Amino acid sequence: MKFGHFDDEAKEYVITTPKTPLPWINYLGTKEFFSLISNTCGGYSFFKDAKLLRLTRYRYNNVPMDNNGKYYYINDGKDVWNPGWQPSRTPLDFYECRHGIGYSRFTGKKNGLSAEVLAFVPTDDACEINKVTIKNESDTVKEFKLFSYVEWCFWNADDDMKNFQRLLSCGEVEIKGSAIYHKTEYRERRNHFGFFSCNCEINGFDTIRDDFLGLYNDNDRPDVVVNGKALNTVASGWLPIASHEIDITLQPGESKSIVFILGYVENPDDDKWESYGVINKKRAEEMQERYNTDEKVEEAFSALKAYWDNLLSIYRTTTGDDKVNRMVNIWNQYQCMVTFNMSRSASYYESGIGRGMGFRDSCQDILGFVHLIPDRARERIIDIASTQFEDGRAYHQYQPLTKKGNSDIGSGFNDDPLWLIAAVSAYVRETGDLSILDVQTPFDNDESKSTPLMDHLKRSFNFTATHKGPHGLPLIGRADWNDCLNLNCFSEHPGESFQTFGPSEGPVAESIFIAGMFVKYGNEYADICELRGDKAEADRARKEVKLVYDATLDAGWDGKWFVRAYDAFSHKVGSEECEEGKIFIEPQGFCVMAGIGVPEGNAKTALDSVKEKLDTRYGIMILQPAYTKYHLELGEISSYPPGYKENAGIFCHNNPWVSIAETVLGRGDRAFEIYKKTCPAYIENISEIHRTEPYVYSQMVAGRDAKFHGEAKNSWLTGTAAWTFVNISQYILGVYPTLKGLSVDPCVPKDFGNFKIDRKFRDAVYHINVEHTSGSEKGVKKLIVDGKEVKGTVVPFEEGKTEYNVTVVM
Ligand code: BGC
């Protein structure tokens, strides 16, 4: 069942009923000011940090589910209703929500009135604009009242939910003209305030929540809206809000639009006040001025569209499959940018007050968006590397505002250092910018301990090379990519964090997943060394890689698949000899991606086992059989009910690893089959089962053992976005940036047909035509660059050339 449809021309998903199986959200904002917005106008806004600088209040874990947002109520004399349906939930005559790229547009119709809300964050301002347009579609004069409503958050979203004894006495507002200012804590230590304004005269306002709603009311039918008269309340303490009353009369066919702005403003410390106790509103008024007409809003909206059109023009494909086109050209890349901006902080499943930026998460996010904004990838890489320790270890997380490593969680996740190599390699391959390797980069944010970034990579590499266990395989530490495989933890009491309890390091537990990473990224490290002329270091690295390659095929091979790990007693995890958890997905995908066992035949056997043991119609499960009891020696993984999360869920993140691995073997049919199983556009028509947004990936789909097999959770902020984009763009469609230039080596289904790719790469545009011979899955028969046949798969790079016409025959 579908609850809407794609509009590819407009790059929108059109939701046609407010009652989606879960709230289906979108993100507004490109740099510093962000909003989450659901298909019924729920959500919230923040500046830079969803925990520390939250402007409006949202209620997670509430009833009804999607509670609080930026709401517009219409009282037309007959009904009270909202164009986005919530929170009144008055049935509408027509409802539509169009989630676009960086904006959302809602249309609600009722009793002859049509109301449209266009919501977006301009590219260069710290505000959200809501343009509300109301049209009288009837043949009689309409007189009605419009009420706006936002509820302020006391900035620190964590405190906001807890510290009532203090905060309920702190709320302060100011009202000037049609703008309502939220200035809680501005008097003392804050230099910032929020405002909610509109560009027309108002008939009244409210800032005291409980007077506006009525103390024992929900926000579905606020007293003020129902009574049709604002009370002009001025908050002092308690819970401040901002609401405008605007009385409107429309002739038949007439329409009126009003621009509302939710803004965030910072003032310099010595320029905070206009007069005693009155905030300096100069910057706020300038911002209001920038969007005070429909034309100015239209201009800002066009600039936003141009911003995205430019980004989405960098990699574009035309294949015979609409769904591939729409995911590659629009939604997958869009999700990559959103995950880059948000990391894992704020979604409808991440409360914005939890973890900071993940070291490994952020490194992987770079793989998916580096081609879009390489400058920001560069900046992010230096931020991340600056949190690394001198011995190569890494903080598992860091805080976005301070950019400092987070000592609450600390270090000990032994895959982390290698992800830094992955990110830097992707950046250098994409841009050819070797200067990043010379950037003096601190350890643990201590400038006095800076070394060139290249030296950070060396220490990452050496960390793994020098932390190996009894089988010559890398030690796992607290965990590797799978945060829930805690082999040194042994936690017996609730409340202990699996990620921080117990020793951070054990001398025995080893990870075959990290072994796969070491081979893959160790080789990429060696390639970079070689390119820089350091042959000796490249040779040394390759020797170390070979040791781990051999150890993996030796102790890391179980007979039909790669073992997952060795636990603290040196017992195998993910082996035929285990009672539960006999086979895991991660080492199969990663080891084959790294090329381990490809010539020896193990790779093929491993992937065949994945198909046989882990595959389902909704994707590949992370392990089988699911753990049915708690295993002290394995940790969190066995704490989940079978079929959910890391205990045999379909973790979408590592499905592309297996798909990529299939392309390494040249099996295009299977690679594409795997791609389709978790790809949102292909499962749109089972939205009643899948439930999350049909335009973005979710972290997890419930596995075969779960009651709700096929149901997804944790949409939006997942490494799945980056990895699926890497998979489809670089491996299946096959346009892969190498250090020496762009390689084109597709691996597609036998009946895929011809396709095209337009790709900006470094300073040039590549127009690539792939002529696909039916029946072939992989293999470049001919590579023709500007009429000349070239050997291999890499388009030779020519200095100064800005356009390449490439034909690939496969
Ligand atoms: C985390 C990743 C982790 C994955 C598997 C995700 O929620 O963000 O860091 O690798 O789960 O445990």
Q: What is the pLDDT of residues 118-168, one digit of tens each?
A: 999 999 999 999 999 999 999 999 999 999 999 999 999 999 999 999 999
Cα gap 154→170, rounded to integer Å = 9
Q: How far is the CA of 35 from the centre of ligand 1 (A)?
A: 24
- What pLDDT was estimated at residue 354? 85
Cα gap 20→14, rounded to integer Å = 12
Give the nearest ligand 1 atom to 358 CA. 9
- What pLDDT was estimated at residue 379? 97
Give the residue, by CA position, lying nearest to ligand 1 atom 5. Answer: 482
Give the residue, by CA position, lying nearest to ligand 1 atom 9. Answer: 361
What are 669-719's pLDDT values in tens digits?
Answer: 999 999 999 999 999 999 999 999 999 999 999 999 999 999 999 999 999
The beta strands (E) that lie in 319-424 are given as 357-358, 397-398
Contact (CB, 8 A) for 20 and 3: yes
pLDDT band at 402 (very low <50, low <70, confident <90, very high): confident
Give the nearest ligand 1 atom to 481 CA. 10
Q: Which residues pair with 273 in a beta bridge?
A: 279
Contact (CB, 8 A) for 485 and 479: yes
Which H helix or E strand runs over 363? helix 359-369
Give the nearest ligand 1 atom to 360 CA. 9
Q: How far is the CA of 323 from the centre of ligand 1 (A)?
A: 27
- What pLDDT was estimated at residue 510? 98
Instruction: Look at residue 160 and give its three-state secondary structure.
Output: helix
Amino acid at 266: E
The mean pLDDT of the chain is 97
pLDDT band at 593 (very low <50, low <70, confident <90, very high): very high
Give the nearest ligand 1 atom to 355 CA. 8
Tokens representing 540 are 């040394």
Q: How far is the CA of 635 from the centre of ligand 1 (A)?
A: 15
Pocket of ligand 1 (CB under 6 A): 344, 358, 360-361, 481-484, 646, 699
- What pLDDT was estimated at residue 234? 98
Cα gap 132→616, rounded to integer Å = 46
Q: What is the mean pLDDT of residues 750-759?
A: 98
Is pLDDT of 523 > 80?
yes
Give the nearest ligand 1 atom to 361 CA. 9
Q: How far is the CA of 718 from the centre of ligand 1 (A)?
A: 8
- What pLDDT was estimated at residue 400? 80
Give the nearest ligand 1 atom to 483 CA. 12
Q: What is the mean pLDDT of residues 315-336?
A: 98
Is pLDDT of 271 > 90?
yes
- What pLDDT was estimated at residue 647? 98
Amino acid at 10: A
Of the residues 125, 211, 365, 483, which is catalytic?
483
Cis peptide before 87 (omega within 30 of 0): yes
Q: How far is the CA of 482 from the centre of ligand 1 (A)?
A: 6
Give the residue, by CA position, lying nearest to ligand 1 atom 4. Answer: 482
- What pLDDT was estimated at residue 739? 97
Cα gap 781→791, rounded to integer Å = 10
Q: What is the mean pLDDT of residues 752-764?
A: 97
Q: Which residues pair with 130 in a beta bridge?
A: 119, 260
Q: Which of 340, 398, 409, 481 to mutate to test the pocket of ligand 1 (most atoms within 8 A of CB)?
A: 481
| DSSP conformation letters of 15-35 | E--S--SS--EEEE-SSSEEE
Cα gap 352→337, rounded to integer Å = 17
Q: How far is the CA of 458 from the centre of ligand 1 (A)?
A: 25
CA distances from 496 to 305, 481, 483, 487 (A): 47, 20, 15, 15
527: annotated active-site residue:
no
Q: How far is the CA of 582 from the centre of ligand 1 (A)?
A: 21
Q: Which of 384, 584, 653 to mutate to test the pocket of ligand 1 (most atoms within 8 A of CB)?
A: 653
Is pLDDT of 355 > 80?
no
Cα gap 298→291, rounded to integer Å = 9
Cα gap 99→119, rounded to integer Å = 10
- What pLDDT was estimated at residue 504? 86
- What pLDDT was estimated at residue 207? 98
- What pLDDT was estimated at residue 40? 98
What are 594-642's pLDDT values in tens digits?
Answer: 999 999 999 999 999 999 999 999 999 999 999 999 999 999 999 999 9
Q: How far is the CA of 360 from the centre of ligand 1 (A)?
A: 9
Q: Which residues are CB-contacts of 65 (< 8 A; sequence separation ≥ 6)?
A: 22, 23
- What pLDDT was estimated at residue 316? 98
Tokens representing 270 are 């010595």
Give the residue, by CA position, lying nearest to ligand 1 atom 10. Answer: 481
Give the nearest ligand 1 atom to 651 CA. 5
- What pLDDT was estimated at residue 401? 80
- What pLDDT was estimated at residue 370? 98
Q: How far is the CA of 114 from the centre of ligand 1 (A)?
A: 44
What are 473-507's pLDDT values in tens digits?
Answer: 999 999 999 999 999 999 999 999 999 999 988 99
- What pLDDT was estimated at residue 505? 86
